[in-house]
Amino acid sequence: MIGQYGLSPMVEHYNCLIDLFGRLGQLQEAENLLQNMPWQPTLRTWMSLLSNCRTFCNVTLGFYCFKKIFLLDGTHASAYTLMYPLFLVAGLNSDAMKLIELRNKMQARRKPGKAYIEVAQNIHEFVVGDNRHPSILAYRKLKSLLLHLNSEGFMPLLDLLNI
């Protein structure tokens, strides 16, 4: 890369390659690159590999990634969200329950989602679970948007909320 493009590869370049190998199902190749890169893997590096382990149901490598993520940030909620179904698919229900207990102990919570819409040149913020908006008209508009989404076939991914 240095000779051809005059660029020194950085951790982000390695992250992209690791993610690419992972998305192709070449998890061992991704892990080898991760283990041999000249920097310490970042949280993002481990999360990318864990995400691909979930896609390809590799519980062993996925749990290894989870442990590395836990050491970097035990409160990173997305790691628990990715690892939980891996345990379930593998029939490791007791490990899945232990994971939930650990998540609760570590108080790993996802930040609520936010959305912004503009109505009559006013920007309104909506936060998941928050119903304190000062304008009931905004909630009427939100309800009509949800009804429209449902009529178009949009279905929320409720299975992601089970942990």
Domains of the chain, CATH where assigned: 2-106 (1.25.40.10), 114-154 (no CATH)
123: phi > 0 → left, psi -120 to 50 → alpha, else beta; which? beta
Verdict on whether the full-model pTM lies above 0.85: no
CA distance 99 to 81: 10
CA distance 57 to 90: 8
pLDDT tier at 163, thresholds 50, 70, 90: very low
Is it the case that residue 162 has pLDDT exceeding 60?
Answer: no
Q: State pLDDT tens for residues 135-161.
A: 666 777 778 888 888 888 876 665 555
Q: State pLDDT tens for residues 21-49.
A: 999 999 999 999 999 999 999 999 999 99
